[in-house]
């Protein structure tokens, strides 16, 4: 009856495994988002070149600022993924030391 209200009791090993799965899931989501942003970056570079050939320098400046912003986002995604990997590694080392 109490399991219905509070859920099934999990062992520490099950909780650790669940947390590791959540971390790897978050890493994959970050990779997907980063790939989308990198595709946008490629399109943006092509648009900048196209506008430069047409002589639209104002549009080029705006798009160049956007390009810098997207490149910063890509770097931020790399940093986030690295920190998630570090957390996952720490969790694994703690769990292996306990066994």
Average pLDDT of the chain to the nearest whole number = 91
Model pTM?
Answer: 0.78
C-alpha to C-alpha distance for 57 and 77, rounded to whole angstroms: 30
Residue 1 pLDDT grade (very low, low, confident, very high; cuts 50, 70, 90): low
Q: What is the pLDDT of residues 50-90, one digit of tens each?
A: 999 999 999 999 999 999 999 999 999 999 999 999 999 99
**Would you call 69 helix, strand, or coil by DSSP?**
helix
Residue 51 structure tokens: 């506008």
C-alpha to C-alpha distance for 69 and 3, rounded to whole angstroms: 49
- Report pLDDT for 51: 96
| 31, 34, 35, 39: CA torsion to nearest 10 | 180
């Amino acid at each position: 009856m109490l399991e219905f209200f509070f859920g099934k009791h999990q062992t520490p090993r099950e909780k650790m495994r669940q947390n590791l799965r959540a971390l790897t899931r978050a890493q994959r989501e970050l990779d997907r988002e980063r790939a989308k942003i990198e595709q946008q970056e490629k399109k943006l570079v092509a648009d900048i070149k196209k506008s430069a050939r047409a002589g639209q320098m104002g549009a080029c400046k705006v798009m160049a600022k956007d390009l810098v912003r997207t490149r910063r986002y890509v770097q931020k995604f790399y940093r986030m993924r690295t920190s998630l990997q570090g957390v996952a590694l720490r969790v694994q080392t703690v769990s292996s030391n306990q066994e």
